[in-house]
Structure formats: structure tokens, C-alpha cells
Structure 1
């Protein structure tokens, strides 16, 4: 018995020492070396303007458009030595540990094709890919070369969404999910004044894979896949509209997507025609509902509640990364593990592209698309 206690104490001490050594090695390693591939995305200021952070350092920027590169250098007061017009040269010279892709969605596949064999981790802006074929190829490369391939959604940072997930799946606050309604979008890329380089690929059916359906439909598919713990839908029905063909002649500017599961349904309303920007979600269960109105504000009502009540939640109340690059750094360092079918996860985001591709087919044919998920 004494020998057992001594052994247990010894093992505990050993694990503590190993843990301290691991932290020490990570501290010695320093901040994560990150390179940016493409700067046409309107979200690129998130990384180029990220200052006073010890977890990530900007190692290089690939931008083949010299005029756009000059604009980024000027706007963000960056050294021209950071910028490259040859992607392979940049990767070989600066040797980043991870790459963040801020070009077109179509280019995401190319980024993974170049980075994966080098063992470089990748985080792309939503959605993962323009087609399911692209997504599956990217998934295969990530698994073959054992890299992290993450997809960044703004709604991944919302404490309200994390709290909604907790209430629905941990405490069973509303009972089994029956219907989820998700609204995402804004007045339109032109209407909100996005840059020309961003507008050009957002409104290109190849480079973006579609219009509002791709740009904002992906949020709902991502959140619902997470809420359903990765369960695959059985069918998808979608209707797209073109309310502003003079502005968006090549792509849809409004989409309604109905995603059916054996015991639940999700209605995704994605649009470039909302009167204001919105990212909100309504979850209805057997015995109550949870509304995430924005990143912090919620409305709730459970079975025994006499009336609805409001809740304000922040990252102090529920752990959530409000900075995607901090999340990337902690994943690559091994500090955290990406949850299976979590919002950033590869399996979730392959499913997202599967839903979006089925939605595009449904809108085109006018028929419900049955999904064979075997």
C-alpha cells in the first residue's frame, strides 16, 4: 500500500515537471510565426493591424498585386521587406509555422496545396472552399501532412453563441432542438463600402462560389452543424433571389436555405438586402427557446419561466476566444485541442460546404436535394 502511494506521488511529480518543461519550451520558442497569403479580403486588417501581441508575429505577406501591396504597406505602416510576389519564395525564406489566407475563397485550395507538404498550418476565412470537391481535397491534404486546417468565422468569437450552445447541449435548457432560424448579412458589399479588391471577388461566381448564399449562408451552416454535434442533414432546399441585378449581375444577393435533419430543421436566411447588418440566431426546443441577438445579448425562456428574460454574456462568464489569431496560436502550440465539429474544425467546415453546394443545386433546379452522407 505504501509502495502504491509513493509511486502515485512520484508519477504526479513527474507529470508536473514534464508540464513545466513543456511550458518552458513553448516560452523559449516565442510567438507563432504567421504569414499572410493574399490581402484582397476585407478582413485582412484584423491581422495586418494587430499590434502589441506577444503570441503571434507577422513573418511575411504574399500579395502578387503590387499596387494593392503598396496600399497595404501605406495603410498599415508596414515594412516593404515583409511583402513578396512569389508565394513559394516567401514560404521558403520566412519559414512560417502557420499561414492565414486572406485572398478569394477559390484560392483557399491553392494555399493548402502549397502549405500542407511543407508542414505549415493554415487558417482560412469562411467558408472553407467554393466547392465540395475542393473541400475534400483540402481535407485529404491536411490529414496526410498532419496540419491544422481551421476556418475562421466572426460568430466563433461570440460569447452569446457559446452560451447558447452550453444551454442547449449541456444543461438541456430547451430540450431537444426542433427548429433553428439564423439570420446573417448586411445591406450589400457595395452599400457598406467594401474595397474594390474585395468587391471583385465577392461578386464573382467562381472566386466566391456564389453571392450572399456563400458569403453569409456559411455562418448558419457552421453554427447548426456545431449545435447538432456534426450530424449530417438529410436534405437541403433553397431559394435564391437577385433583387439588385444592376449591382450584382453574376450572383445571388439573397438566399433562404432549409436544412432538414431527422428530428430538427434549420432555416438559414442570408442576404445582402437587410436594412442593417445582423448576425443572430433563434433556437427553439421542445420546452423553451434561446435567442442570440448579437455577440453579447440574449433572450431566453424555458419551460418553467413565466416570461421571457434577457441576458448579457461576455467572455468573462463563458470561455470563448474573441481573437482568432490567439486561437490559432494556442492550437498550433498544443495548448488547446480543436473540438470535434467545433466551429473552427475541419469536419464541421467540410459539412458546411456540403450544405452550401446542395443549396446552390436546389436553387438552380428548384428541387429539394437529398444528401447521401455515406
Structure 2
């Protein structure tokens, strides 16, 4: 029998389930880092799609304590929203004073007060049939023997951080690296439920990232989206121009210490050659399709639901649209689909 959650995590799970039930993608406990500093944890990260053109990123601050300090939390949540350039923020507190809601309204901060929380706890919306975040973290620790066998929990924590600060091609390529790692584990025979959980989580996060990138290119032609994706997967957020610049800088540095000018030019060409040989066209062709682009948000929520399911379905049992993205990723990583879809 699982142990009940402590008061704070229980409130976070209840609110997470509520926001899931009304259509958001959610992530709990996302760390916000600046350089090498841990600035703060975001209790709940929300990502919503209100139309084909509009996306919402919302930081939720949750305090379910005897002294919630609600007014201070409004200041904090608003400041964090502005720092992250999110579209909104929410403070959830067990404080019931009307002044708290009024102060929130004046500062464009949505406040979910104690009355709302007490009703929510009794509602079916706060009790979805899924594992909670603590159970997932415990599974990831056990599956990889902590840091001894790949540190799956550490990889997952870093991935959640990217939801806050790296919804760009640098983030997308980092998620691709994570998915490649988990696919390789599965291809070697690790078809455990936990391996599929973390794989589904990573695919969901990649889909959110690509949905955010492509939101501004909904009306673009297919060829334009293809070129955008192809360059982004090859060269990252800064594009080909920065890769070329870095190559020239590296070539110049080599030339200052080695008398052979050909060595510097070889290094410059090698940097660009490796990027050109990446099979980014496979991903660009797939994700540039209008039907795929429009379904990314729903796919992210689908994979997230299955990642947190009590009984994790193997990939071979998923519907065709979910299978297609797994197949395309396997092709990109040059991993036999049959090894993944057993």
C-alpha cells in the first residue's frame, strides 16, 4: 500500500489533476536555473493551447500551509512570470481572505483561494487514476539504481527544467538525445514499464517544445516549415550562421598554434560536415506536415497520460498516430523499429 502524500505535495497533485482535466499539459516541480544557480522550483508548470495561433505558459505557486503568506506569494509569482516571459501566473493558497483575491486581480494574478481548494479536494477532478510525481521519481531511481545506471531521475529533472527555459531547438535537440538514450535501452531488451514511462514523458516534452516553436509558423508553406525544422535540428536555436562562425573561430585558433593552415580548414569543414550528415531531413519532413503540426499538443497530452498510467501500455499497442512518431524517431536514430515495437 502506497504512503499518503504530505500536505504540500498532495495539494500540488490535486491541482495538477484539476488542470489536466480542463485540457492543460502539466509538469510538477520544474527547477528554474540561471547559469549554475538554482533560483527556485516552479510548483506547477502549465502549457495550454487556446487556438492554432495562441499558447499559454503559466507558473503556478502552491502554498497549503498554516501561514501561507499569500500576498507575498503573489509578488513572487508575478515576478517569476515576468522573468520567464510567461503568459500568466496563478497563486493557489489556503488563505480565504477576500483581500488576497482583490490584490491578485489588481496585479493580474489569478488566485485560487482556500474555498476553491477545499471544494477541489472533494471533486473527482482532483482524483485521476494515475501515479503521482513522487511515485514516478521513485520508479526512475530504482530502474537505474540511482546514479549508478544512467541516473534516469537526474535526466528527467533536467528535462523538466528545459520546459521552463528552453522551448527552442536547443531544447528539442536535448530531448532528442534523451529519447535516443531511452530507445537504446529498450532496443537492448529493457522493455520494463519504467523504461516506457520515461520514454513517453520525453516524447511528450519534445512534442510540447515543437508545438511552441511551430506556433508562429502555422500559416507558413510546408517548404518553409521544412527548412526551419531542418536547420534547427542540425544547428540548434542559433542556426547555421553561428555554426559557421564557430567553425571559423576554431580554425583561426588552431592556426595560431599550428603552422599547417590545412589543419584549421579541416577542422572548420568537419564541424559543418557533421551537422550536414545528421539525418535531420527525416524529422523535418515528418514534423513539417500540417496534420502532424496541428496534432502536437494533443499528442503530448496523450503520451503524458500513458506515461503516468497505472498500467503502462507498450508501444506496440498504441494508436497509429502515436506509433508513427515513435517510428520516425527510431528511423532518425537508426534503430530498428522492430527492436522498439516488440
Higher helix share: 2
Q: Same fold (TM over 0.5)?
A: no
TM value normalised by structure 1: 0.29
Bigger relative contact order, structure 1 or 2 (CA pairs below 8 A, ≥6 apart): 1
